[in-house]
Every structure is written in structure tokens, then in C-alpha cells.
Structure 1
């Protein structure tokens, strides 16, 4: 873990449900003016905590992505810090505002509490409502891996006129600079003419027991493939019917059980987390390399 708090890793599921639930509840409380005294304190306290946390993240860069908005919105550490610094004064103003305002009925409380926790629990035990990853239904994985475009660069040559001392920049194709009786070489630099575009899916490694990546062979297959992904597999699921191949990708150890009928490969942990955003893992149905369906492991069929 980024902060070397592995000893509290067991609490991750509880925090993953409780934190967004409390954030949703706080939003409802502020919007409906519920429990204003508690909402004011929690809003300011959480903003101070997360602002200090993002200062550390921006300074130390312990993780590539803080995951503040999941895969829906990607923002840099510095942008996250700026966002928190902008919101912090508003949280302070809200904290100092003693005006009680118009209060909602007690019924709003009874609705806010279950709604906030129900949304987090539903997200924990199911796939996201909005698919923000590149592994969407309908995507051809190999085509997405080849969708990037190379950028264009240009080399600029800097020469000094031997007579006047003036500096001038030339392109490689220019021939004037080749007259070394007039021009003296000083420097060269490369400028970006056109930015390149990274592929939508950078990689999907499938490493066999010999250390060979077989991803291209699997993803170019015309067969109907069930691709099971999970960072930790306590046991292999029963093989469902209707698939020509059942491929298992994991970053952990392969369960010591009957593996007949499965193709077992090691993959990258972050890629697996991106493919199926569930701690329990899940599966993709591939037909001609295209993602036709996504499901959790408990919903295999």
C-alpha cells in the first residue's frame, strides 16, 4: 500500500462502503438542511483531512491516480489539490454560518440513511452503472490496443552567421545551413509538431507458465471465449457450457485444484482491476475478439 498500512488492509471493504456512503449522506444533509450542526462539522473536517492528504499525494506522488472520481473523471494530483483548496473556504463558510434555515421533516432522515448506504452496497456487489473503462461491451480489444497514433516531431538546427553573428534556425530539409563558410553550427533541438495519441487499451498481458505472452493469440481467436479475471482466486468456478475456451487471468496464485478445461495465465493487477471493477472478480464473454458481455463471477452462465 502507498502509505505502508498493510496491517489495516483487512478493513478496506468496510472503508470502501462506509466512506462513499458518508459522502452521499453528507450531500443529502447539506441539500435538505438535515442535521446542520453535524453536517457543518463533518464537511469542514473532511475537507481539511482530504486537503492535507492531497498535499502529501501531490508532493510525494505515491500513486499514479488517487481515484477520487474512479475511472469516470481522471484528474491529476495537482488538479485534485487545487479543487480541494477551492472547496475548503466554502466548507469553512458553511461551518461558520449559524443560520439554521428551513428544516426538513424527520421522514427525510429515514430516507437519507438507507439510500446513501444502499447505493454504496449496490456498487460493491455489482458492476458499475456507468462503464467508464475501455473494456466496454462492444469493444474489439485488439483494435483498441492498436488505436493509438504516433506523434510528429521536427528537428531544428540552430546556426550562427559567421559574418554578422545573427542566429538562425533551419529545418533538416533546408540546404542553406550546409554552407559552412557562412554558417557555424551551434545547437539542435526537437519540437513536437503533432501530439501522439495513446491506444485506448495499452496492454492486456496473458503470461503462460513459460513466461510467454499469448494475449495476441487469445484475443485474435474467432472462437467464443469466456475470459475470467480475478486478482485472487480461492477456487476455480465450475466451467459453464457454451464456450470454446475458458481463459483465467490472475495476479495471484493459481488454486491447487483440478484445472482441466481452464487456460491459466498471469496478468497485471491494475489491468485486472480495470477490466472488472469488483474485488470478487468477474468475466468477459469474447466473440471474434469483441466484448459481448460482462458479469461478476457469481453470475457466470
Structure 2
């Protein structure tokens, strides 16, 4: 019975750690953004420059600990590592849930979004399983000889780090974001007819002019009690609004594109029925300039030969964006959008999206930018 419990915990914890690390390693840049949120909460923004390296390392560590547990190599070190890591994660998820700071922990990336309380519950269950393994670590026998186990661990280390490094440089293998290839952005922004909106509760602060008594009432209580009929009671200040029930939320709810004069072009750009290029560079100060020049040359050829419209989307202010466009002789029209949706569009700075009728036809990291002839052959000659 005890041996069966230990094996159950061993397999469950091992596979879950491998899965958790792998799903985040599929999008290490997205995970690094989540780490930066935690750094901001704990006033540790001096770590922001290390966020990506930490993200890739943490993902690899999760996969390695899970794999080492399954094959039973270096078990004492692995048991301590699992315990410390799950205690650390449990603290972060509890802090997020209790203080309502980081509202999605990123435990399973964007593949399986969890609320902070769901994440904390998951970590508590995992903590129990890990404690069983930790207290019985002497009974966790290796599946292979020490030499073979070490060789497998070295191979797993190379593979674990390799996944994160590859996906950072060439985009996620599986895109779980709302801007993935095949997604129609206007559809992802729509709220269907009859969908339930968010439900809010208002709290009024009241004061009695006669006896100076104060009380707080919700909007429902305010109407039900009929206190509004009593002229002695007056509302003090502004009512407080609290979300009590989340309604339908579209997958894309924060995308707004403006030109440098502030005019909204979101619908016009997304409704373009022809092929067009979006160059996404959320931060022009830290973008890869050589890549921008290569993309610009590609866009110029597409514009000359196929009249392809190209736009540059950035979160930099109008002055910075205009100066950058002039300095690099960009053929693209310059538009602005918030940093958050731009980071979500393409996990690269810069990245490129080929659009048609609001649908994402293709997207590329600047490291995997296609040749002009390849785009023409695959997309433009086929229309």
C-alpha cells in the first residue's frame, strides 16, 4: 500500500513538473513578462533584465527535477529541489490570491489559465504529494545504473534548456495566444448578442444630516430599504464599484490602434480585405535595428510589386516613433498601440504578421523572416 502511494506520487509529481516546465518553455518570453509582474509587486524591478534568463532556467529546472524524479537519479538533491520549489510557488500563488496582485500566475502559461486561488490550490495538492516523496526519499530507487542515469540527466539538461532557447528565438511551437495563425482578430474582439456583461455592485456612503450617523449600503440595499426617500440621509462622495460576477470576456479586449495624431484606425486596418503586413515592435528603443532594416527592404519590395500595405505598430510615443521611421527610411505607416497587446501579438521585437481581412495568415520572428520569393509563391500568387 505504502509502496503504491509512493509510486503514485512519484509519477504524478514527475509528469506534472515536466508538463508545467515544458508548457512555459514553449513561450519563455511570455513567462518572463509574468516574472516582471512579480518583480514589480515585490519592488525588485532591478531583476527585470534577468527575467528572460530566469524564465528559461526555471522552466528547465522544472523539467529536469520531474525527469530526475521519474528515473530516480540524484534523488536526495531532487527531493530537496522539489520541496523548495513547490514551497516557493505556493507562497507566490497565495500572495497573488490574497493580495490580488498578479491575477494569472502563469503556472501553465497561456495554455491553461488559472486564477490565483486555483493555482494556490494546485500548489497545495502538489505540496502534499512532494512531502510524501520527501519523507520517503530513501525508498525512491533508481531505474538505471548511476552512469546511465547521469548520461540521461545530461541529455535532459541540454534538451530542457534547448526548448526554451529555441522557442525564444523562433516563436512558440504551439501558439495559445488570441493572435495565433488562423485567428480572425475582429471576431476575437466581438461580444456575441445576448452575452452576459460584467456584473458590478455599487456601495454608497451615507450620512444623516440630523444626527451625523453614517452607514454604507449596496445599491440593492439602498433601493430595498427606501432610505433614499428620507431627506435626512445624503450620499457622501462617490459610490464604490466592485465586480461581483465576471461576464463574457472576448479573447481580445485591449487592442486599439491609433495614428500619431491620435485617430483610431483599429477597424480600418483589421478590415483590410487584401494582404497587408504588420511590423510589431513594441519597444523601438530596444528593437533589433538590423532586423527592422531587413523587414523594411522586404516590405518595400512587396509594396512595389504587389501594392502590399505595411504598418508599424509600436507603443513608443509619436515623437519617438516618427523619428525612428525617418531615421530608418521606413516604408511602413506608423501607428501606436498599448504595449500589452503588442507583446501578445508576436513574441519578438520586432515580429511580423501577414494579415488579410483581419485574419492572421502567418507570423514570423525576425530570426525566421521569410524571403520575398517565398511569400510571393505561398500567398500572393495563390490569390
Q: Give the match for residue 258 of structure 1.
A: 328
Structure 2 gap ranges (5+): 1-39, 198-222, 227-245, 371-383
Residue 299 of structure 1, CA deviation:
2.7
2:96–2:102 contact (8 Å) kept in structure 1: yes
In the aligned structure 1, how far is the partner of 2:100 from the partner of 2:111? Answer: 21
Q: Give the match for residue 358 of structure 2.
A: 289
Counterpart selection for 2:269 from 214, 218, 222: 218
More helix by share: 2
Counterpart selection for 1:199 from 250, 253, 264: 250
Q: Give the match for residue 124 of structure 2.
A: 85
* CA RMSD, Structure 1 to Structure 2 (Å): 2.4
TM-score by length of 2: 0.64
The answer to whether residue 119 in structure 2 is matched with residue 112 in structure 1 is no
In the aligned structure 1, how far is the partner of 2:76 from the partner of 2:186? Answer: 54
2:170–2:368 contact (8 Å) kept in structure 1: no
Structure 1 SS opposite 2:170: coil
Residue 29 of structure 1, CA deviation:
0.5
More strand by share: 1
The answer to whether residue 139 in structure 2 is matched with residue 99 in structure 1 is yes
In the aligned structure 2, how far is the partner of 1:50 from the partner of 1:33? Answer: 23
Residue 117 of structure 1, CA deviation:
1.2
In the aligned structure 1, how far is the partner of 2:128 from the partner of 2:169? Answer: 36
Q: Give the match for residue 10 of structure 1.
A: 49
Structure 1 SS opposite 2:41: coil
Structure 2 SS opposite 1:247: strand
Structure 1 gap ranges (5+): 154-184, 189-194
Q: Give the match for residue 302 of structure 2.
A: 242
In the aligned structure 2, how far is the partner of 1:2 from the partner of 1:23? Answer: 23
In the aligned structure 2, how far is the partner of 1:18 from the partner of 1:69? Answer: 16
Question: 1:164-188: per-residue Cα shift (whole Å, max 9, x none)?
Answer: xxxxxxxxxxxxxxxxxxxxx9579
How many pairs were matched up? 264
Residue 220 of structure 1, CA deviation:
0.9
Seen in structure 2, the aligned counterparts of structure 1 residues 114 and 144 have a Cα distance that, compared at 3 Å, is: same
Question: 1:127-157: per-residue Cα shift (whole Å, max 9, x none)?
Answer: 112121111222221232225344369xxxx
